[in-house]
Amino acid sequence: MEELANLFHGFAVALMPFNILVMVIGIVLGVIIGVLPGLGGANGVAILLPLTFSMPPTSAIIMLSCIYWGALFGGAITSILFNIPGEPWSVATTFDGYPMAQKGKAGEALTAAFTSSFVGALFAIIMITLVAPLVARFALEFGPAEKFAVYFLAFCSFVGLSKEPPFKTVAAMMLGFALAAVGLDSMTGQLRLTFGFTEMLNGFDFLIAVIGLFGIGEILLTMEDGLSFRGNNAKINLRVVLHTWKELPRYWMTSLRSSVIGCWMGITPAGATPASFMSYGIAKRVSKNGKNFGQGEIEGVIAPETAAHAAGTAALLPMLSLGVPGSPTAAVLLGGLLIWGLQPGPMLFVEQKEFVWGLIASMYLGNVVGLLIVLTCVPIFAAILRIPFSIVAPLILVLCAIGAYSVHNSTFDVMLMLVFGVIGYLLKKCNYPLAPLVLAIVLGDKAEEAFRQSLLASQGALGVFFSNGLVGTIMALGLIALFWSPINEGFTRLRSAATGRPRPAGPDYE
Amino acid sequence: MSASTDGNLGPSHKLVEAGVALLIGAAGVVVIIGSIKAGIGWGAEGPRAGFFPFYIGLFIVLASVINLVSALRVRHHHLFAEWSQLGHVMSVLIPSAIFVGAMPFIGLYVSSALFIGWFMRRLGKYRWLTVLAVAIGAPVITYLVFERWFLVPLPKGPLEDWLGL
């Protein structure tokens, strides 16, 4: 009951005129970011983070999280109208969204995409509202060993669940940890890995890395082909919206399933992109229209969009309650919390009630506002995409430079950003995942601190990570996640050996 | 670079992949060396500064060796990118590097105006009027939004000093 009162108080905070204004600005900026190639949720939020330094933290997080929602909505627009996924998580939306648009059903596809996004997000927010306070209360008891175990679980899930080769994930992740370690060691006050360069005293800021890796890297990738847009026109009117809404309840099972998949994948840091693919794959196998998928089936739009939005939203649950972000964008938001002087993690629910519940309430409102804005303004946003890339690209690059500079008012950071851009381009081309790299930079110091404190308490014995049921369970879950694909493989082989049948051909969503 | 005469050639994916694995591995070695310098054992206050990064470095080297081996074992001969594609990438990267390098001296506004102008004129082949409008308009809007509205100071150069901003 106390939570309910808190939530209502949160609504009172989120409904203040200034916060509503900030919400609308955030959504609009977010959709633009989602529509433009090269600007994604993570680096878009990173670039705009400095704008919020002068705002009160609650308004700041409302604006930034609304940019995130906007970006999630925006990705669908380009996928459906232009067959260009504005965001990685909307790749699966192109499979059926674009064929629908080609058949002249762009309005239906967009309405279905936005509405499903909204449904997925709503499902995830309700889950956050109910679960986050419990998790936080539970996590208050955590000592350093448990904290490390949670980080361990998060990073192991990356290795075990990501579609990239596991050792590439390990390499990228460890590179992130190494970058985080550069500079002043927080526990001994000693300098390390700086090799005498004064610029490296403070280490590498992950915001610079995010802007470079995702922003500049993406532009370099896009430049390879020199884009030419040939898009469909979007006309959404009330009739189409109502007509589509009348049809949508038929697919409630797909929505529910996709929401659950999305929430699960968002909490474990697998993220929105695999969630959308998995949800699409399962819907294709389960649906009775499965064979029509890929030719413009509305269910093929509903499934990935619901899951992606649910995952993107659910990624905030571990960020708020444990201080472990579930996605790169959540990591940037977490970085924002640190900059505004808030300590993410369970104490947030005790010490910063207004902030937390203001944020949660703003998620409800932000998604309603977002739905209204995207449904009414699609033609405007689609027009943005018709601006030629040779104008958009330099503007985005300048924006990235501004964002990188204003983190620490340092031009050295801007150069660093460009270096990260080249690294991001190379890593992406070679199929290294970038998300674990970024998360490792963000969490490196905290994970290390928890690790060393635990070892300090146990005098160096690694047994401390299995010393009680709780920490042992989390660590064991981590190990299972780490070796998930060999375990899964062995299990499948066992089962097929038992039934005497050869292994079925791999389903196409994996 | 003799292959660049043929428009369809480029570096092989295998080569670049191996190169990236080597680079990451080298970074791992640097991390290990740095950690040993900082001390990887136990001190009076517990694990010393290099303790954690040392193992991180070991993991990087280990993972990179495996990545290198699997990159070299690949049989297919895909291209990493065609030279012409890499040329496109370079046509953005080199001006960006100049833009970033010039920023400390002439400020962000002037350098971004020049950068946008160059980009639009050279790659987009726009009329000078359009080029000038965007190249000058964008920094002005940036100034109003960032410095005036959100009070975020951005690097300035001689022109801004002369204008007294």
Q: Of the candidates B19, B39, B66, B50, which has an alpha carbon nearest to the alpha carbon of residue A178? A: B50
pLDDT of residue A228: 53
Q: pLDDT tens, position by position, for chain A (510 residues)? A: 677 888 888 888 888 899 999 999 999 999 988 887 667 778 888 888 888 877 888 899 889 889 988 988 888 888 888 777 766 777 888 888 888 888 888 888 888 899 999 999 999 999 999 888 888 888 888 888 888 888 888 888 888 777 788 899 999 999 999 998 898 887 787 888 888 787 777 778 888 888 898 888 888 887 876 655 455 565 667 777 788 888 888 888 888 898 988 888 888 766 677 788 888 888 888 888 778 888 888 888 899 999 988 988 888 888 888 888 877 888 888 888 888 888 888 888 888 888 888 888 988 999 999 999 988 888 787 777 777 778 888 888 998 999 899 888 888 999 999 999 999 999 988 989 888 888 888 888 888 888 988 888 888 788 888 888 888 888 998 898 888 878 878 888 888 777 655 444 444 433
Task: Tell me how far apart the alpha carbons of residues A107 and A81 are, in angstroms, rounded to a whole number.
Answer: 10
State the alpha helices, DSSP H only, in B39-82: 51-73
Task: Tell me how far apart the alpha carbons of residues A403 and A408 are, in angstroms, rounded to a whole number.
Answer: 10
CA atoms within 13 A on the CB side of A28: 9
**Do the beta carbons of residue A318 and residue A264 sit within 8 Å?**
no
Task: Tell me how far apart the alpha carbons of residues A221 and A84 are, in angstroms, rounded to a whole number.
Answer: 13
* Distance between A190 CA and the closest CA of chain B, angstroms: 7
CB atoms within 10 A of CB A52: 23
Q: Which residues, listed in sequence order, are joined to residue B156 by a DSSP beta bridge?
A: B107
Is B152–A406 a contact, with Cβ atoms under 8 angstroms apart?
A: yes
Interface of B with A in 126-165 (CB under 8 A): 126, 134, 138-139, 142, 146, 150-155
Q: Enumerate residues 6+ apart whose C-beta is below 8 A from A323.
A: A334, A343, A344, A345, A346, A446
Q: Which of B28, B93, B115 sits opposite A394 (nearest CB)?
A: B115
pLDDT of residue A38: 67
As a three-state string, the secondary structure of A358-387 is HHHHHHHHHHHHHHHHHHHHHHHHHHHHCC
DSSP code per residue over A112-178 = HHHHHHHHHHHHHHHHHHHHHHHHHHHHTT--HHHHHHHHHHHHHHHHHH-SS-HHHHHHHHHHHHH
Q: Is B22's pLDDT higher than 50?
A: yes
Contact status of A394 with chain B (Cβ, < 8 Å)? yes
Residues of A in contact with B66 (CB under 8 A): 167
* Distance between A34 CA and the closest CA of chain B, angstroms: 20
Backbone CA torsion sign across B119, B122, B126, B127: positive
State the alpha helices, DSSP H only, in A459-507: 469-482, 484-499
Q: Report chain B's mean pLDDT, rounded to a whole number.
A: 86
Is B38–A50 a contact, with Cβ atoms under 8 angstroms apart?
A: no
Total residues belonging to chain B: 165
Interface test mutation site (partner B, options A54, A397, A419, max chain B beta carbons within 10 A) = A397
pLDDT of residue A170: 93
Scanning every residue of chain B, which has its alpha carbon at the shortest distance from the alpha carbon of A440?
Answer: B56
Contact status of A174 with chain B (Cβ, < 8 Å)? yes
**Do the beta carbons of residue A119 and residue A370 sit within 8 Å?**
no
Identify how many contiguous H helices and E strands chain B contains and give both numbers. Answer: 5, 2
Structural tokens at position A31: 């959709």
Q: Of the candidates A22, A24, A415, A51, which has an alpha carbon nearest to the alpha carbon of residue B147? A: A51
DSSP code per residue over A380-432 = HHHHHHTS-HHHHHHHHHHHHHHHHHHHHT-HHHHHHHHHHHHHHHHHHHTT-
Task: Map tokens 């791999």 to a residue.
Answer: A506
Task: Tell me how far apart the alpha carbons of residues A275 and A446 are, in angstroms, rounded to a whole number.
Answer: 27
pTM for the predicted model, two decimal places: 0.84
pLDDT of residue B137: 93
CB atoms within 10 A of CB A250: 10
**Do the beta carbons of residue A278 and residue A307 sit within 8 Å?**
yes
Contact status of A175 with chain B (Cβ, < 8 Å)? yes
Q: Enumerate residues 6+ apart whose C-beta is below 8 A from B84.
A: B7
For residue B42, give the DSSP letter. E
What phi and psi, each to the nearest 5 degrees, are found at residue A184? Answer: -75, 130
Q: Enumerate residues 6+ apart whose C-beta is below 8 A from B61.
A: B25, B28, B29, B32
Q: Which of A390, A422, A452 sits opposite B51 (nearest CB)?
A: A452
For residue A213, give the DSSP letter. I
Backbone CA torsion sign across A90, A95, A98, A100: negative
CA atoms within 13 A on the CB side of A433: 28
**Do the beta carbons of residue B48 and residue B41 sit within 8 Å?**
yes
Q: Of the candidates A1, A256, A284, A302, which has an alpha carbon nearest to the alpha carbon of residue A124? A: A256
Is A388–B124 a contact, with Cβ atoms under 8 angstroms apart?
A: yes
pLDDT of residue A234: 59
Q: Three-state DSSP class for A506?
A: coil
**Do the beta carbons of residue A442 and residue A325 sit within 8 Å?**
yes
pLDDT of residue B1: 38
Residues of B in contact with A53 (CB under 8 A): 152
Contact status of B93 with chain A (Cβ, < 8 Å)? yes
Residues of A in contact with B73 (CB under 8 A): none
Q: Of the candidates A398, A227, A389, which has an alpha carbon nearest to the alpha carbon of residue B85? A: A227
Q: Three-state DSSP class for A343?
A: coil
The three-point CA angle B107-B108-B111 to 5° equals 85
Is B49–A397 a contact, with Cβ atoms under 8 angstroms apart?
A: no
CB atoms within 10 A of CB A56: 15
Contact status of A195 with chain B (Cβ, < 8 Å)? yes
Structural tokens at position A189: 């006050």
Task: Tell me how far apart the alpha carbons of residues B51 and B39 are, in angstroms, rounded to a whole number.
Answer: 7
Give the start-to-end residue ranges of the domains of chain A: 2-494
Q: Enumerate residues 6+ apart whose C-beta is below 8 A from B126.
A: A390, A391, B120
Contact status of B50 with chain A (Cβ, < 8 Å)? yes
Contact status of A377 with chain B (Cβ, < 8 Å)? no
DSSP code per residue over B134-159 = HHHHHHHHHIIIIIIIS-----B-HH
Q: Which residues, listed in sequence order, are joined to residue B47 by a DSSP beta bridge?
A: B42
Distances (CA, A) of A202 to A182, A245, B51: 8, 52, 19
Residues of B in contact with A174 (CB under 8 A): 28, 56, 59-60, 63
Q: Three-state DSSP class for A57?
A: helix
Q: Three-state DSSP class for A137?
A: helix
**Do the beta carbons of residue A188 and residue B48 sit within 8 Å?**
yes
Task: Tell me how far apart the alpha carbons of residues A100 and A233 are, in angstroms, rounded to a whole number.
Answer: 12
Q: Which of A192, A406, A460 sits opposite B34 (nearest CB)?
A: A192
